[in-house]
């Protein structure tokens, strides 16, 4: 079957000439359009060549050049003697570009590199044969080996400069120093606070790239240099910091508290010689738990308790309301204030202002505050530095709380006098007690003495700063004499005694507030300075919630104070007083009673329940019994062999406890 073809009649067909003419016109039109397009493109190209646009130039530069950021080496942190506490260690890597290595030269180059790096030649050659433009041959390469690698002169082998922040003493002063994260930014402590100073300058380096996007130029290791960060000189003494942390480790072992803090201050300058916290952490290996990184010295605002009493007495002395021998009626240990009743742990009747400090009388302190008046008393506390940040260059510093004198109630004024209902940081307590030691002049705490550039030229210098005179030298010296009695026989801190040095101090045992109420948990603390008559160091020890043994500041904190002070004074070359060496009590024994629990007196409503003192050393008996209001009759020396009354008996304050040592 054939298809049906229709053939137009001859008369209906267009002439061939007409068809060809129309086709010719169409061809000419399309040619004109193409010529017009080509002409436009040519004109555009000529315009771009003759009059280039900035946007096009910038785009071409981006495609042609590669910008590589180079970070300057981070500055060091050093102690007061220039000993490094934090350093940046060069950790260079050897990088190869296999595309630039001839196949016939690969084996010989691999052998040379392996010999320098002490690596397997076969493994190095395998890396050099990879289909890549970036192959890491070695990491953490020693500088001497880096020099030998560069001496090979191979364009395919380059050095990539890397660095690592390193803390030579590991956990020493870790909360003060802080650490550096993987991005090179400081976190916590001085690393964060002075990050901009230490980080150094970031420089953008340009390298040419080929059409495949690979770098054509050699890397910057041999040609470009970046600006290093500044070195921070601190007031810390590495040796005394280590002494302080060792003492806190002993506190943690003996009493198992939540934390412990100690601060050592140079009385004259306000320099922070040591700032220690336990538990601690190693900034070389930062873990996930943030609690060990907490700097309790500035980030904890606690109720200070009885360590506040020297400031209360100083205010009353400065106002001329009392002197060291002024008698104060302590109401037998109970004093009604409105509907509340203030109690003394160690009840007394009439005592002197000095004995308010010695026996740590809440009632005596409260009466002194009432005598001074709310406005003046709160004003003195603010002058001592409470309820205001000290300005120390550490992140997270707390302000603390003091009640307003306009709204404070009588009972609140009384409790503030013995450190209840107010909060302060350990650093505020340290600087306050240092002001008393410094003849009444409060200094600003100084942690950084200067910041130097990479050439050793000082960029910033921080001299000692006197904030203000809080009380007169006469008042400060009187308070110091009162505080000496705390560490003498009958005081609450005989464990703070140091052979050859007279100690001025004050104990504190504060209740902790939990869920808005005072709980049974305690904070034991001790503040003091040595030597008492010509002070060099002021020291604060705070033990948060001891769970093993005693909870009293005279037991948990005072021995740590003595350990820190004695070794620090030796480190500083402060000689002991030979006369005091003769009068020093015998040291605590290390064998017979090392495993015994601390002695504790228990109040039974009308008297103290007598513990068994058999086998206990002289100093331990003094520390446990003194401050209870009991009269002590001591015979002999060494260890307890007899006592009267017998263990278990009840003995009211004012009665005599006879102890025989042998």
Q: How far apart are CA 385 and CA 391, in angstroms?
A: 11
Backbone angles phi, psi at 30, to 5 degrees: -65, -40
Instruction: Please give the distance of CA 136 from its chain centroid, rounded to a whole number.
Output: 38
pLDDT at residue 194, as a whole number:
95
Question: 648 near 623, Cβ under 8 Å?
Answer: no
Q: What is the pLDDT of residues 582-616, one digit of tens each?
A: 544 444 443 333 445 677 777 776 777 888 887 77
Q: pLDDT under 70 in the chain at which residues?
A: 1-13, 52, 58-71, 203-226, 582-597, 605, 618-619, 623, 626-629, 635-638, 654, 661-662
Q: What is the pLDDT of residues 512-531, one digit of tens each?
A: 888 888 888 999 999 999 99
Q: For residue 625, what are its two tokens?
A: 């019994």
pLDDT at residue 589, as a whole number:
41
DSSP state of 209: B
CATH architecture assignment, domain 592-662: 2-Layer Sandwich (3.30)
The position carrying tokens 């004050």 is: 506
Q: Which residues, including other chains, have CB under 8 Å from residue 402's CB and lie 6 or more apart?
A: 378, 381, 382, 386, 387, 416, 422
Q: Which residues, including other chains, have CB under 8 Å from residue 373's CB and lie 6 or more apart?
A: none
CB neighbour class for 33 (10 Å; exposed up to 12, middle 13-18, buried from 19):
exposed
The position carrying tokens 């590669």 is: 66
For residue 204, give the H/E element and its range: strand 202-208
Class of domain 68-230: alpha beta
Q: List the beta bridge partners of residue 94.
A: 138, 159
Collapsing DSSP to helix, strand or coil, 231 comes out as strand
Q: How far apart are CA 446 and CA 232, in angstroms?
A: 13
Q: How far apart are CA 524 and CA 553, in angstroms?
A: 4
Instruction: Please give the distance of CA 415 from its chain centroid, rounded to a whole number.
Output: 31
Question: 466 near 443, Cβ under 8 Å?
Answer: yes
The closest alpha carbon to 431, from 474, 482, 389, belongs to 389
pLDDT at residue 223, as a whole number:
40
Q: How far apart are CA 347 and CA 375, in angstroms?
A: 29
What is the sign of the dihedral through the CA atoms of 388, 394, 398 and 400? Answer: negative
List the domain boundaries for the chain. 14-50, 68-230, 240-281+297-448+466-581, 592-662
List Cα–Cα distances, 503 to 482, 534, 623, in angstroms. 11, 10, 15
The closest alpha carbon to 255, from 542, 629, 632, belongs to 542
Phi-psi region of 407 (alpha: psi -120 to 50; beta: other; left: phi over 0): alpha
Q: Is the peptide bond before 60 cis (omega within 30 degrees of 0)?
A: no
List, as one string, the DSSP characters of 79-124. -TTS-EEEEEEE--EEEE-GGGS-HHHHHHHHHHHHHHHT--HHHH
pLDDT at residue 578, as a whole number:
84
pLDDT at residue 585, as a whole number:
46
pLDDT at residue 53, as a whole number:
72
Q: Yes or no: is domain 240-281+297-448+466-581 CATH 3.40.710.10?
A: yes
Question: 59 near 52, Cβ under 8 Å?
Answer: no
The position carrying tokens 């397997």 is: 120
Q: How far apart are CA 547 and CA 590, in angstroms?
A: 22
């Amino acid at each position: 079957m054939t298809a049906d073809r229709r053939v137009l009649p001859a008369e209906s067909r267009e002439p061939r000439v007409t068809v060809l003419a129309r086709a010719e016109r169409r061809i000419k039109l399309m040619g004109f359009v193409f010529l017009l397009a080509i002409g436009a493109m040519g004109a555009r190209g000529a315009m771009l060549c003759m009059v280039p646009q900035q946007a096009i130039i910038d785009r071409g530069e981006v495609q042609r050049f590669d910008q590589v950021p180079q970070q300057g080496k981070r500055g060091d942190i050093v102690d007061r003697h220039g000993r490094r506490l934090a350093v940046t260690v060069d950790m260079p890597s050897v990088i190869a570009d296999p595309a630039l290595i001839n196949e016939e030269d690969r084996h010989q180059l691999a052998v040379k590199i392996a010999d320098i790096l002490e690596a397997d030649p076969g493994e190095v050659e395998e890396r050099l044969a990879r289909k890549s433009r970036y192959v890491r041959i070695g990491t953490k390469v020693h500088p001497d080996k880096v020099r030998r690698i560069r001496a090979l002169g191979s364009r395919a082998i380059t050095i990539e400069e890397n660095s690592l922040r390193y803390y030579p003493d590991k956990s020493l002063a870790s909360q003060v120093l802080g650490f550096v994260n993987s991005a090179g930014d400081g976190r916590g402590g001085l690393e964060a606070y002075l990050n901009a100073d230490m980080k150094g300058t970031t420089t953008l380096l340009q390298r040419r790239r080929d059409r495949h996007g690979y770098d054509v130029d050699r890397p910057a290791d041999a040609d470009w240099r970046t600006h290093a960060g500044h070195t921070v000189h601190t007031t810390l003494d590495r040796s005394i910091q280590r002494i302080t942390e060792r003492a806190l480790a002993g506190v943690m072992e003996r009493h198992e508290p939540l934390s412990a803090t100690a601060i050592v201050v140079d009385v004259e300058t306000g320099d922070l010689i040591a700032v220690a916290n336990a538990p601690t952490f190693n900034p070389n290996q930062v873990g996930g738990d943030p609690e060990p990184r907490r700097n309790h010295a500035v980030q904890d605002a606690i109720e200070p308790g009885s360590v506040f009493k020297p400031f209360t007495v100083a205010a009353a002395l400065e106002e001329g309301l009392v002197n060291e021998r002024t008698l104060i009626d302590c109401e037998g240990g109970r004093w009604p204030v409105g509907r509340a009743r203030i109690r003394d742990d160690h009840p007394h009747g009439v005592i002197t202002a000095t004995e308010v400090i010695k026996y740590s009388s809440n009632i005596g302190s409260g009466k002194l505050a009432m005598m001074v008046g709310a406005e003046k008393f709160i004003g003195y506390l603010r002058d001592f530095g409470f309820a205001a940040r000290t300005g120390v260059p550490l992140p997270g510093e707390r302000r603390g709380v003091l009640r307003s004198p306009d709204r404070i109630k009588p009972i609140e004024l009384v409790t503030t006098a013995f450190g209840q209902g107010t909060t302060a940081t350990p650093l505020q307590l340290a600087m306050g007690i240092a002001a008393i030691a410094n003849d009444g002049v409060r200094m600003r705490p100084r942690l950084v003495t200067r910041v130097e550039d990479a050439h050793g030229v000082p960029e910033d210098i921080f001299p000692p700063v006197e904030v203000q005179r809080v009380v007169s030298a006469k008042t400060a010296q009187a308070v110091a004499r009162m505080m000496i009695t705390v560490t003498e026989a009958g005081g609450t801190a005989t464990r703070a005694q140091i052979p050859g040095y007279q100690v001025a101090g004050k104990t504190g045992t504060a209740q902790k507030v939990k869920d808005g109420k005072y709980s049974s948990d305690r904070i034991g603390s001790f503040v003091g300075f040595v030597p008492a008559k010509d002070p060099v160091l002021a020291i604060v020890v705070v033990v948060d919630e001891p769970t093993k043994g005693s909870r009293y500041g005279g037991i948990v904190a005072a021995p740590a104070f003595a350990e820190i002070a004695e070794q620090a004074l030796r480190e500083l070359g402060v000689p002991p007083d030979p006369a005091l060496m003769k009068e020093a009590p015998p040291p605590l024994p290390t064998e017979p009673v090392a495993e015994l629990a601390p002695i504790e007196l228990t109040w039974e409503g009308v008297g103290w329940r007598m513990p068994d003192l058999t086998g206990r050393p002289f100093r331990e008996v003094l520390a446990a019994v003194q401050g209870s209001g009991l009269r002590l009759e001591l015979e002999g020396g060494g260890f307890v062999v007899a006592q009267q009354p017998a263990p278990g008996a009840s003995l009211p304050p004012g009665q005599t406890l006879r102890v025989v040592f042998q």
